[in-house]
Amino acid sequence: MDLHNIFKLILATVLAIVPAIIWGYIFYKKQVGKKSMVLRTFAMGALFVTPLLIYKQLWQYFPWLDAFQYTDTFKDDLIGFSRFGLIPLDIVITFMIVGIIEELTKLWAVKATDKRQICSVDDAIEMCIMAALGFSFAENILYFYNILVSRGVDDIFYPFVFRSLFSTFAHLMFSGILGYYYGMALFSNNMLKEKHNKKKWRMTKAVAKALNMKKSVLFHDEKIAQGLIIAIGLHAVFNILLEMNWIFLIVPFLTAGYVYVNYLLQKKEAHKNYCMLSDTRND
């Protein structure tokens, strides 16, 4: 790498630091006594981008590893409800795969850092958000660097503003939702578990009975899976809106997501008030 590109990499890193500091400060100041864990989770979230980069590099040596090449067979298939709403099926499948990879990666970053230091649902939400912020930080470095190399400094302003405000917030929102369900998996008591089991689908009950699974273990896995499904789905929708250039839908989409996060937080407080959350972990 020549000096010119090194300068661009340094500039990309500086640009990526700005939203990380602003968003990070908002959540960092809320933690009391666990700030070292917050920083470790942020670092782990950034570090966990590395396996994805290695995976992409392997495509040139092992093309069959590229999961996205298999989605090309669906590019002529369209889904939607009108001419405006038609979306190529390959785009939907591709961004579902992206959502699965990125949300699982952020969850693994939290689990790698946890070491049983998450002591409440609030902690779980906070750590998932910080892992997402670290992941977004590393992703922004690569994104800004590619723009600087391919298009130059003059074209960096609008991508910088959009990534800093909307894309970073989207990452935090998806992981905040996942953090809620991860926290519920860890701290729901028997009262809440029984309430959950009564509303469970018959198919879920049948599978649990066939596998002779304990209710506590099943509840734990179901809650995490529920959070992952929602986070992955929202992540895919966000990327599809960008890919289809439906930028005017981004703000309503993120606003709806913010409302949903607030709903989950109110729900969490209600569970606290009705003594449905435990002081000890279930895992």
What is the tens place of the pLDDT at every residue in 19-66? 999 998 887 776 655 778 888 999 999 999 988 888 787 777 888 777
Check residue 188 and report its DSSP letter: B
Work out the average pLDDT over 71-90. Answer: 72
Work out the average pLDDT over 262-278. Answer: 89
Note whether residue 278 is domain-resident. no
**d(C-alpha 265, C-alpha 254), whole Å:** 16
Which are the contacts of 199, defined by CB distance < 8 A and separation ≥ 6? Answer: none
Note whether residue 67 is domain-resident. yes
Residue 14's pLDDT is: 95
Check residue 279 and report its DSSP letter: S
For the entire predicted model, the pTM comes to 0.88
Note whether residue 35 is domain-resident. no
pLDDT in tens, 133-170: 999 999 999 999 999 999 988 899 999 999 999 999 99
Residue 51 belongs to what domain range?
A: 3-29+40-273
Note whether residue 242 is domain-resident. yes
**d(C-alpha 115, C-alpha 135), whole Å:** 20
State how many domains the chain has: 1
**d(C-alpha 188, C-alpha 279), whole Å:** 9
Residues 190-227, buried b or exposed e (16+ Cβ, 10 A)?
eebbeebeeeeeeeeeeebeeeeeeeeebbbebbbebb
Residue 231's pLDDT is: 94
Cα–Cα nearest to 225, from 210, 254, 243, 204: 204
